[in-house]
Structure 1
Amino acid sequence: MPFPPLDAALPAGADAREHALLLRRVHEAALSGRPAPARLRPVIQDSWSRTRRLGIDPDSTPPPRLAAPSELHRLREESPLAGVLPLIRDSLMSVADHADHAMLVTDASGQVLWREGSRRVRTVCERVGLVEGAFWNEGSTGTNAIGTALTVGRPVQVYSAEHFVRNLHTLTCACAPVHDPRDGRLLGAVDVTGPVSTVHPSTLALVSAVARLAEAHLQSLHHAHLERLRSVAAPLLAGMGGPALVVDDAGWTAAAVRMEPLRRVLLPARREGGTAWLPALGECSLEPLPGGWLVRPRPTEAAAPTSVSLELGGSPPSVTVSGPSGTWSHRLTPRHAELLLLLAARRDGVTAAQLSHAVFGSEGHTVTVRAEISRLRRHLGGVLASRPYRFGDDVDVRLAAPAAPADLLPASTAPGVRSLRREWEESGLPLALRVEAAT
């Protein structure tokens, strides 16, 4: 997934020490209510607003919550990033050691799973609670590179007094999230942290490149798994007289015969073989295979899904589809979350041009919109209709929105999403009620 242009904390040509002093004056002015001598970067300003709503005290933040050693061990074993940890370590540690930084890898919640670095920099980290097992999301420690990068879903560098909590002003941090290359799901983050004197704009580019490298390696591991499954299933598929496909446990297609090979099939949350209705395929028989499933569409008709629930306050956002024979959950990419939110708010339907304007600010991206809607319809067959684009007339749509407007897809800059946030804030009427009324 491509990253937007990087926004380094230190402006080009700026003196690091003078900029740190300026940021401290901005911090003091913001907390005292006085006019600030300079403007914060938008990503920091937005994070400070979230931090204040969370009730973080800049002077007396409690130590981050720690996981028990047994829990930390379990989380490490289950982390998808465990398989790319050697690659991350080889890519970062020599540079981190030279720059007197620590390398950290977290899960999607901001919990530090691994931390490595020199004794000196580890001591610096321990003074502020930046240790293995600690939670470093915004809800625990306010604005910081790990928590803010995970919230906005893109690389972030935080320097000195850009941290909301004062005892973090001695640090400079750069962090990049790592996403599942298959579906955009947030897996965790890669971070380098060091004393404030070690700030350098290239650090952000470095962690961003390593995050992309980790995602590419995860993609290659997935392709290798599908290839093994394809080899195992080949003799079985060769004897099939009707349409069939083989998918892995997450529904990704390894092979197909006598039918269009869908990229992914949404499998029921609970699957025990037998018959189930699947989005995009209708009623199917499911048979377990080593490492996956044999899916055979059946010619009989079955009822379409009856309800859709959108969870747009979490990270990552997700959609849950309930049908006549089960429930399916699908993690959403940021773009698909934006599109489904806009469709939920306009049950009467919208055109590709209108969606283009709502997502990109102009009507010049209709081809992109149509392609993304097509991908969504493959995942959510029976849910979305076209001409105009909309949720099906018989589909009950529910929105599990966050408590505050600013937390609705906080990383989104789409004009239509920003407008919905503004309307919600001005009216005081929860957006979920508006969606339910339209349903």
Structure 2
Amino acid sequence: MTVTVEARRRRAAIASARGALRALTPGPAAVREEIRASWARSAATVAPDLDVAPMSDPDDVERVWRGSPLQHAVRVMGPQLEQTAVDGDLVVAVTDASARILWTSAGRVMRRRAESVGFAPGGRWDEASVGTNALDLALRTGTLSTVWSAEHFAHAVEGWVCWAAPVYDERTGRALGVVDLSTTWDRAHPLGPATVGALAQLVQHAASSAMSHDDDGGPARPVGSATGGATGQLLELRLLGAGEARLGGRRLQLTRRQLEVLALLALHPEGMSLPELHASLYGDAPVTTSTLKAEVSHVRAALGGALTSRPYRLALPVRTDVDAVLDAVAQGESTTAAERYGGELLAGTESPELRQHASYVTCAVREALLATPAPEAALRWARTCPWDAEVLEVALAAAPLGAPSRALLAARLAAADL
């Protein structure tokens, strides 16, 4: 989206006002009074050069999340919240009533930026911890709030724009938390406030409905939280193409990062230490171990506790589409492997180990198709890898003269060469 001249002027004016505040001069009147008042409060407890939010104890965050009606709301609203994050390359966050983040979903670019500043489950975004921000301001004022660019007190998020709306218990009026949308200032969209307001209303209704149902004696349990946990239930992971996790046949509402945690643990049935999991998931990215612990805690809660510590290990049977594809390759069934290959493993992942494993799986299927060419298998492969002319050429050469598949292979090959 093109950055308007007005947006640049606004950012410059706010930055000038921040400089005036630090110099103890009146400065320009470009800043709302509620922001100025928040700056003054923030200066007493927060260093302006703060680069990452403090993190709460992951076990405590897990306990709060599992007992919060917001978890049910996110389970209901998860696909819509996640689609909003991906479509707008935003971070969508849900907090408790103290502005502590309980759940997030993010587009690829904003996910990396959010994790680097502690804008992740467990991050404490109250004013006393990180200074002026929209999450705290929405809870403080009880209204939809926007904090734009340099209106943030902490330098780490001066380039962000955040829109937050409070969520209440519709029966009692008690604040449950906020729904927040965040992006960079140069990508801010004028529909941001309206979008977060609508999402907050939907989350509020879903949460309140869950509490009413609970009062009637029919609690809506989160997936995996039934008495006795999830031990013994089958965890099914679809990682090739569109990622998805199912426990006992029911789809788990996980963020992309949490699905990546599950994928890595499935690849390491022997378990992984915290440093090993951190390196495999984030590589050299500046993400704290506390952020990772919070993500693992959410995964553990979704699995009903079937995830051990020291090392982290899945304590339930697991089946993945990756195993099915590699088993078919090992048995020389190239057609079956091509049929089961749904696309690149978690395409777009930034996990160094998952990227490496994605290349391994793709190469394994491809080499099987080249070693034992079959027209049907090549045509199936072309649906997910239409650029791979070599597989089509080998299959076309091996196809019997007059076989109907030759025409299809030739057409696919011509399209691949365009």
TM-score normalised per structure 1: 0.46
Name which structure has the greater RCO, CA cutoff 8 Å, separation 6+: 2
- Higher relative helix content: 2
Larger Rg: 2
